Amino acid sequence: MSETEPFIDCHCHAFWDFDDGVRTKEDALELLRCAQGTGITEIFVTPHLIIGGLYEPDFDLIKSKLKNLIQLRDDNGLVIRLKYASEFRINDLCFDAIESKSYVCYENTNWILIEFTRGIIDSEIIKNAVSALSKNGVRILIAHPERYFDSEKQAVEKCKLWQSWGCFFQINRTSLIGYHGERADKISWRLISEGLANIVASDAHQGEGKRECRLDDVHAMLVRRFGRIAADTLCIENPTLLSQNKELLSISVNKAWWHR
């Protein structure tokens, strides 16, 4: 990877002792060091925001935790940019939060990262939530769609439907490297090959290990399988456009290597 390639990570759990991400301040520092050392220049920290669930931070608490992380960065001579966001859980309790606009978008944008559980993918909850958020002027990025389905066919069909509603998709680095198992691995690569991916992010939860904060390794894998233009769009250009509050690009790639 060239040192000039400025990766932006749009999904990361870097607040220590906060949700299911890094556990300690030392782990958070290791996460930042790994990110900066592997070419990431900007991180959106995306703590879980689950209405009625285990993790339900308000905006002020998220900003306070970001301030602490920035202080940790500065105290250790790092220069990586840090911004707030959230991973907003879509469930049957989220609608009051949507109505009151108490969700947390990516900092200085009208983009939001949403997630849900496998149990609601065929319910009306997702459609109603997408509609409500869209009416508020929010643009939607769906976190790790590859983890919601039992088969590639189901994933492609459902993601095409969500795409028709105006949704965009974020694929996890950890899925592409096989950390979440064979099913998520196959589905993640298939979604990219079908043009149903817009951003690849780390979804980092560890200072070091399989879920560390880096994108250089998966970017190299994407270059080998789909070419540099697609890899750069997923790991560099679209994350930059999101950070600038602009529309994301779609990707078009040759058929995946296993279909040739």
Write the secondary structure of 35-63 as one string of H (helix), E (strand) and C (coil). HHHCCEEEEEECCEECCCCCCCCCHHHHH
Say yes or no to pLDDT of 260 above 90. Answer: no
pLDDT bin (cut points 50, 70, 90) of residue 252 is confident
| The predicted structure's pLDDT at residue 62 | 98
The string of pLDDT tens digits covering residues 139-158 is: 999 999 999 999 999 999 99
CA distance 143 to 165: 16
| The predicted structure's pLDDT at residue 255 | 58
All domains of the chain, ordered by start, with CATH? 7-259 (3.20.20.140)
pLDDT bin (cut points 50, 70, 90) of residue 253 is confident
Residues 19-34: what's their mean pLDDT?
A: 98
Q: What is the mean pLDDT of the chain?
A: 95
Question: pTM to 2 decimals?
Answer: 0.95
Tokens, residue 226? 């789909």
Tokens, residue 134? 């869209």
CA distance 139 to 109: 9
How far is CA 52 from each of CA 58, 81, 94, 197, rounded to the nearest angstrom?
A: 12, 31, 8, 30
Residue 140's nearest CA partner among 175, 164, 173 is 164
pLDDT bin (cut points 50, 70, 90) of residue 258 is very low
| The predicted structure's pLDDT at residue 1 | 38
| The predicted structure's pLDDT at residue 108 | 98
| The predicted structure's pLDDT at residue 143 | 98
In sequence order, the 6+-apart residues with CB closer than 8 A to the CB of 39 are 1, 3, 5, 6, 7, 214, 215, 216
Strand pairing of 139-143 and 111-115? parallel
Cβ distance 108 to 133 under 8 Å?
no
The string of pLDDT tens digits covering residues 241-250 is: 999 999 999 9
Residues 104-133: what's their mean pLDDT?
A: 98
Percent of the chain with pLDDT strictly greater than 90: 95
Say yes or no to pLDDT of 52 above 70. Answer: yes
CA distance 49 to 24: 20
Residues 177-191: what's their mean pLDDT?
A: 96
Say yes or no to pLDDT of 176 above 50. Answer: yes
Cβ distance 15 to 31 under 8 Å?
no
pLDDT bin (cut points 50, 70, 90) of residue 259 is very low
Say yes or no to pLDDT of 27 above 50. Answer: yes
